[in-house]
Structure 1
Amino acid sequence: MTTSSHQPLSLAQYDISPERGFLPATDPLAQLPDEPILNQIGAELPKFLTARQFRSFVQDHQQLMGPVADDWGLDVFRCAMRTLSFSGHAYVWEDPDHPATLLPSSLALPWVAVAQQLGRPPVLSYASYALHNWRRLDPHKPIELGNVVLLQNFLGGLDEEWFVLIHIDIEAKAGPGLVGMLQAHHAARDNKPDDVLEGLQVLAVAQEAMRETLLRMPERCDPYIYYSRVRPYIHGWKNSPSLPQGVVYEGVADYAEQPQQFRGETGSQSSIVPVLDAGLGISHADDPLTQYLMEMRDYMPPRHRAFLAALEARRDEQHRPLLYGYARDRKTTHPELWTAFCTCVELLAQFRDIHIGYAERYIFRQHQSHASNPTAVGTGGTPFMPYLNKHLEETKRLILD
């Protein structure tokens, strides 16, 4: 086997939790220490936006927060990034018909400084929107629907809340599946078929739970509300018809007062599906969505991005994806292994299929009667519908031959 396949992978070294997956190991901070103005923004943002007074509030304050210190610690940086990211998007999109083309320095400077500390662009990304944006109602109960609420909203309301909480629940349910996947990988490397089988079975149980949560999206998130009141605020400023040049971050020396273009928040910035693809050995032929998904890795937390790359590098002696090659070679001697592997691939295909249905229902159908925000592209700013179907077919194809 290649050298990369000999090295065991540890979830902990990549800031991944066996219980929580890509969610943070400690519950996110609700507020920043000693930052009254930014904390006020976090608490009152829905009211500011309802009154269309957020831009005025920001313009009335020369300083929204104090200097960014290198020793704040990860939890504090994540908390600051969440509030600043929601603030930046609220400022730009407060009036959707007239988006702001310049972020004042009081907002731009701390946002860029905090983003640099976290290794992510200064834009609202999935990590701030979902991974680091929740609290438990009962801290002794699990991270799951019914016991989690959001720390930060744009407008608030059931539909916006539920849309994000579904993602958070899926992230938590993925945790044990990642443990199973790594067990299967390590056992394949050590030629322990029984342990490979056990790991694949654990992964499948987690995938089933993720699928069941995803199916619950329509319970409390209405397509019209999502399209007209949730979606507009998460758009970015790259490939945006409303902001063709991007947005100027005032006072940021590195940007030299030139407009910057960053993708908007999207579930494509979650590491779960790319990691399942990498772990199971599913590859996607080059197309605009594949290129876009590679770009989305720049918006992931750096260690999650590194985990994904490490998983992709795991190959057998024939340079095939490690787990796929191991299970395929034992179709005859250990048919239960190939069956378990195929089950995991089929479950991923089901997950993709449900997602495609939502894209059609929550975006394309809504666009027939509402032209309030661009729909030929996703919130990340790329055409997606034809390629989502292509990626689904590529997933299914892995186990057909």
Structure 2
Amino acid sequence: MGNACPQRRRDVEDIRRISLQEVRSRGWVIIFGKVYNLSEYVERHPGGADLLLGVAGRDATVEFETMRHSSAALLQMEKLFVGICDSAKTSESSEPAKPLQLTGGRQSSRLKINQVDSWWNVEECGFLPCADPVKELPAPWDRLVKLSEVLPSLTVHGKFRTAAERELSCALPRNRAEIKEALDVLSEGEAESLHSLLGYICLAYLHGPPDVYEKGQTVKLDILGRRPDLDHLPAWLSMPWICVSERLERRPMLDYAGCVLNNWERLDPAGPIKPSNLRLLRRFTGLVDEEWFFKTHIIIESEGGHVISSLEAISCAMKDENIHNLLQELHTLEEALWRLASVCLPIMFTRSPSDHSLMCEPFLFFFRLRPYIKSIDVTMDVDDGKEAFTLNGPSGAMSTILPAVDALLGIKNTSAELREAVKAFEAYVPKEHRQFLDRLRNAPQSVKRFVESRKSTVEEKTWYALAGAFNACISRVLDFRW
């Protein structure tokens, strides 16, 4: 009896402690801090092999708890036990694993504008531009900058259209030769800023409410009690917008790049890209809710740079037939995607520390901001005639992060309607982003095909680890879509 406790203590000390890196490399599974080798049990699993492959190489405690398991299953687990994960808390002195946090993006201090050869460099900087967005423009476009600074105040009082006509109608060029001459002196970053500015000003011109305080003015309301929007843009707005859009090879519309990717500045120029260090350059309403909504997307794009670097590394690993590197990079991709879903997306639902109200109230978003950024049918003065346009408003679906992941992993949308919508959105995406997508789509093979084709050529436990890492990435993609 006296030896029972010491013997039990020695048994505990003899249990193997396994690093998280080894769990990932071998495709083992962690449940309640214990590590199990399921490779020989996968094909016999009553729930099917796919369920186990989907959790290989990571902590599956939540998935295990979700399903009911019989006592026979628990006994079977004891036979598969190989050790304890050394990141699990097994004593009072052990420290829990640190939660994922914002990194500030791939470049916490970005390049200066005069150091940029190309405004977009997806491989190096992700889908944000290589330098912080341009704030100032030369004449005659500087008038747009000044007008955008007071846009929220003018729209709330219904005076924006009058101010735009007074300040811009005689100041902006309206024929192609004059516009081309004024555009030729702009850098790529300045052209992007101009495209964004014209998007804000044109949509405010179309959707801005009339001045209800103007004497003698009668405001007609529709059946829902809303003021009707304009559906026509004059040449002094439409022609510059169309010409700069043609230069950038995009649609004449405020797109995701215009209200997110090229619409921010850092309060501390040397500081990281995080919510407390960002402000929007242009806004419709001036509300904190609008700023918080778009800042969340800026953070997602910044942190998404790690996703792009993982995709590049995965492509290289497949090209070099380096299975070990491929496995490691798939785990890195999963972590990067998980950071977006678990750290970045919840920023949207942050509450104010002072009164606990949402920083982005859904009511204010849908009824104050959404009317400005909805899709439109508009007629524009073009050259000597008029042209009708049907244009999609800016949407998070215009982000290139998930389409890039889909392309390399080999994920196919089963909905034809969804595929058509995604394809239509690509006309609103910077051409460099489209070129990056095309390169991934035209790669010799996707990760899915690569893993499937190696089942008979690599060691069994290695293949199961690869399949598990691939399925884990798929699960993270679904975090954005369900």
TM-score (normalised: structure 1) = 0.77
What is the aligned length? 327
Q: Secondary structure at the match of 1:247?
A: strand
Shift of 1:324: 1.2
Q: Is the 8 A contact 2:349 2:360 kept in 1?
A: yes
Tell me if 1:258 matches 2:372.
Answer: no
Q: Is the 8 A contact 1:144 1:169 kept in 2?
A: yes
Q: Paired residue for 1:103?
A: 233
Give 1:350's aligned amino acid.
D
Which of residues 292, 299, 302 in structure 2 aligns to 1:162?
Answer: 292
Give 2:449's aligned amino acid.
G
Q: Paired residue for 2:406?
A: 277
- Take 2:124 and 2:299, find their aligned partners in 1: how far apart are those partners? 12
Q: Secondary structure at the match of 1:260?
A: strand
* Aligned Cα root-mean-square deviation (Å): 1.9
Shift of 1:351: 1.7
Tell me if 1:185 matches 2:315.
Answer: yes
Q: Is the 8 A contact 1:126 1:267 kept in 2?
A: yes
Give 1:51's aligned amino acid.
H
Tell me if 1:85 matches 2:179.
Answer: no
| 1:68-90 CA-partner distances (Å, limit 9, x unpaired) | 32241101101111110001111
- Take 1:117 and 1:58, find their aligned partners in 2: how far apart are those partners? 24
| 1:26-51 CA-partner distances (Å, limit 9, x unpaired) | 00011212344212111111011111
Q: Paired residue for 1:323?
A: 447
Q: Secondary structure at the match of 2:128?
A: coil
- Take 2:118 and 2:196, find their aligned partners in 1: how far apart are those partners? 24
Which of residues 111, 127, 136 in structure 2 aligns to 1:22?
Answer: 127
- Take 1:14 and 1:197, find their aligned partners in 2: how far apart are those partners? 33
CA change 1:63–1:118 in 2 (3 A) is farther
- Take 2:207 and 2:317, find their aligned partners in 1: how far apart are those partners? 50
Greater strand share, structure number: 2
CA change 1:87–1:263 in 2 (3 A) is same
Q: Paired residue for 1:247?
A: 378
- Take 1:337 and 1:251, find their aligned partners in 2: how far apart are those partners? 55
What is the 5 A alignment of 1:212-251? 212-219=343-350, 220-237=359-376, 246-251=377-382
- Take 2:270 and 2:124, find their aligned partners in 1: how far apart are those partners? 14
Ranges in structure 1 where 5+ consecutive residues have no aligned partner: 1-11, 238-245, 317-321, 354-401
- Take 1:70 and 1:287, find their aligned partners in 2: how far apart are those partners? 41
Give 2:348's aligned amino acid.
M
- Take 1:304 and 1:221, find their aligned partners in 2: how far apart are those partners? 29
What is the 5 A alignment of 1:2-401? 15-17=120-122, 20-34=125-139, 35-60=141-166, 61-65=168-172, 67=179, 68-95=182-209, 97-211=227-341, 212-219=343-350, 220-237=359-376, 246-253=377-384, 256-316=385-445, 322-330=446-454, 332-334=460-462, 335-353=464-482
Give 1:24's aligned amino acid.
P
Shift of 1:128: 0.3
The runs of 4+ residues in structure 1 deviating greater than 4 Å are: none
Give 2:315's aligned amino acid.
H
- Take 2:119 and 2:311, find their aligned partners in 1: how far apart are those partners? 15
Deviating more after overlay: 292-301 vs 34-43: 34-43
Shift of 1:13: 8.8
Shift of 1:262: 1.3
TM-score (normalised: structure 2) = 0.65
CA change 1:55–1:157 in 2 (3 A) is same
Shift of 1:144: 2.1
Q: Is the 8 A contact 2:267 2:277 kept in 1?
A: yes
Mark the structure with the bigger radius of gyration: 2
- Take 1:100 and 1:217, find their aligned partners in 2: how far apart are those partners? 31
Q: Secondary structure at the match of 1:52?
A: coil
- Take 1:140 and 1:337, find their aligned partners in 2: how far apart are those partners? 40
Shift of 1:205: 2.1
Q: Is the 8 A contact 1:108 1:251 kept in 2?
A: yes
| 1:205-237 CA-partner distances (Å, limit 9, x unpaired) | 211221121122122211111111111110121
The sequence identity of aligned pairs, in percent, is 29
Q: Is the 8 A contact 2:119 2:189 kept in 1?
A: no
Q: Paired residue for 1:397?
A: none
- Take 1:230 and 1:185, find their aligned partners in 2: how far apart are those partners? 40
| 1:348-367 CA-partner distances (Å, limit 9, x unpaired) | 101222xxxxxxxxxxxxxx
Q: Is the 8 A contact 1:330 1:337 kept in 2?
A: no
- Take 1:341 and 1:86, find their aligned partners in 2: how far apart are those partners? 41
Shift of 1:330: 4.4
